[in-house]
Structure 1
């Protein structure tokens, strides 16, 4: 069988700028051949069986030559595989996608081009620079700042650029910035023409340095800016002062570690990223079914004997209903049962299954659930409590004191995860982590286990700790962490708002 190749533009760095079609291609790839500038987050959308091959294309550090990449694409396609060649920006804008397409034509391999959002347009927009503006210019040029080194002479018409174009965007030109500025001034561009150099555009690491053709090279050198970066030349750069938006976000430049289980981290990661943070996912736990499911299955078999179902987490809801459905039952089996939940997220997840909770406490922890039960006569009533294997005892103990008969059943387990420990510890030692979030006592315990006992104080000295609630905060303090931020209310939105307020102060 002959395979097919999709040359896909990944966009400039922000994974949210991938096109719908580009994402669809990634989701069906057998092989993903990706560049340095393609967001690593996009790889997570591939099927489980996908082979992911990193081919570099980093300035000054190509682990594959272009000829080797071409041969690799052809080889994989001839094996009958669906190949996605994922390239930063747009494959046909200084991306050498044309060369790769020519090789596919020679090999008679079917292919499609999926355009991407080019950094030449997206990066200035994220820096608050419109490339065209009725009051400034109606002309735009996109130019390589790094021509083919085998050329005997440049084919860039510097005079036309300097005198005939209002806005000029140079890609891959930081190393040649001094020469670019000199050429433009030599051919007639005003020395005081505004210039912006934007590094890691559209990502949380975005940094912008502005100046003029006369001053920009020195300013960029003083700031230590290196590739990847783009250069914008033109009067439109003046608009940045009033239009910059991306770099004004409250968490811009902050690196935040998310220790939550990967399958539950998306809401926290997305909210923090919207506030400008670079999120480093380092899940310390994963949620798995219990090793012994018989107690939960036995409870479901006698579900008609219970008066109450109490859920203390979304996980408890998910695993309970998963087993309920697997055993051939549905929500009709719960028609007689009253329900209680620990908080609004758990309440919403329960409602997703068509059940409205009878009790939801004012604050979201076990003690508040008990307080909410104070108005209920539960003496002699049977309560099913499907929850984590190692959970706090306060809820079943206090409900029993109120006269209830409580079945505390394991619905799921939290297992420690150490997959990303090495990379995370390296970032801690470098001092490049600003904040760590804890969303449960389990995340605290497992995070603590990752740290060398004799280096905890040193590694965490300048790291801010944010906790979702008082129980988690107490666990952190007991293990030697200094808790700087606590959510109010004890929810993911509350945690993000508390972090925002901390940095704005």
Structure 2
């Protein structure tokens, strides 16, 4: 309840609007037809009620609170799937919460909050206000490269699914490598379109040759700074990096040279 309230920017206590917090269960044994908790007794506590698992019994809970003397205009809120990328919430008065919960897309698991402090909540939730909140994004990069992108997307609010469709397998066949690198020094340009390609190229290069000078006079073009950094680590000068890091822009700028 505390985390759900924090992620929806709902205060649970305030010096002037409720200094106590009660945690209640709104759904007990499925075989019970009615609630065992007497919610009417909590209607005049003056604090905030945090009601777990109450969506299926929300009408009965509200009726009990009203019968206990709680006013219709008492601030209330519901947080569904709290702290998850699919979190949703609504704020309203106690008298409207049953109807609004039925017409909204809020589903269990959810927590119901009732109390004066709830009325002090911010209208915007820092968690739900992130630019990619509510988006589900599939990352198809290799597992070894997923973590940084996944973290950045999650920080922006996205739900990230990892589905690696690329697997890079090394070769240790020196004969095959030597054939691939035969005549390498006769080319004018060597073009790297990915960091993976640059990294594996240099590994294979040193399987075929022992001296970096065997690289020859070729000019080097890279699709972006991350790829270029791998070549610079070998003290190789990168002469062309497109302003926009795409293969299309790299090709256009190569043609223009």
Scaled by the length of structure 1, what TM-score is found?
Answer: 0.41
Alpha-carbon distance, 1:343 to partner: 0.9
Give the distance between the partners of 1:239 and 1:354, measured in 2 at CA: 59
Residue 349 of structure 1: how far off its partner (Å): 4.3
The answer on whether the counterparts of 1:350 and 1:356 sit within 8 Å (CA) in structure 2 is yes
Tell me what 1:362 maps to: 242
Per the alignment, residue 127 of structure 1 pairs with 8
Report how far residue 316 of structure 1 moved.
Answer: 0.9
Which residue does 2:193 correspond to in 1? 312
The match for 2:167 is 287
C-alpha contact (below 8 Å) 2:43/2:65 kept by paired residues: yes
Q: Contact between 2:220 and 2:240, CA under 8 Å: does it hold in 1?
A: no
* 3-state SS in 1 of match to 2:43: helix
Q: Does 1:172 align with 2:50?
A: no
Select which of 165, 178, 182 maps to 1:298.
Answer: 178
1:11-45 C-alpha deviation (Å, 9 max, x unpaired): xxxxxxxxxxxxxxxxxxxxxxxxxxxxxxxxxxx
Q: Name the SS of the counterpart of 1:122 in structure 2.
A: helix
Structure 1 portions without partners, runs of 5+: 1-119, 375-505
Give per-residue Cα distances to partners, 1:373-394, cap 9 Å, x unaligned: x4xxxxxxxxxxxxxxxxxxxx
Counterpart mapping for 1:480-499 below 5 A? none
Measured at CA, do residues 335 and 159 of structure 1 come closer, stay the same or move farther in structure 2, by a change above 3 Å? farther
What is the CA-CA distance between 1:125 and the residue it aligns to?
A: 1.6
* In structure 1, C-alpha distance between the alignment counterparts of 2:62 and 2:175, rounded to whole Å: 73
| Structure 2 unpaired stretches of 5+ | none
CA RMSD of superposed structures (Å): 3.9
Q: CA deviation at 1:219?
A: 0.8
Render the CA deviation track for 1:451-473: whole Å, top value 9, x for unaligned: xxxxxxxxxxxxxxxxxxxxxxx
Contact conserved, 1:195 with 1:234, CA < 8 A, in 2?
A: yes
Confirm whether residue 137 of structure 1 aligns to residue 18 of structure 2.
Answer: yes
Residue 334 (str. 1) matches residue 185 (str. 2) = no
Summarize the alignment of residues 207-226 of structure 1 with structure 2, pairs less than 5 Å apart: 207-226=88-107
The answer on whether the counterparts of 1:361 and 1:368 sit within 8 Å (CA) in structure 2 is no
Cα distance change, pair 323–122 in 1 and its aligned pair in 2 (3 A): farther
* 8 A Cα contact 1:343 1:361, kept in partner: yes
**In the alignment, which residue of structure 2 is the partner of 1:460?**
none
Q: Matches of residues 281-430 of structure 1 in structure 2 within 5 Å? A: 281-283=162-164, 285-289=165-169, 293-294=173-174, 297-298=177-178, 310-323=191-204, 333-334=211-212, 339-350=220-231, 353=233, 355=235, 357-363=237-243, 364=245, 365=247, 366-368=250-252, 370=254, 374=257
SS across alignment from 2:44? helix
Aligned CA distance change for structure 1 residues 341 and 155 (closer, same or farther; 3 Å):
same
Change beyond 3 A, Cα 1:162–1:348: farther
Normalising by structure 2, we get a TM-score of 0.74
Q: How many residue pairs get matched?
A: 249
Q: Which has the higher contact order (CA 8 A, sep 6+)?
A: 2
Based on CA coordinates, which of the two structures has the bigger radius of gyration? 2
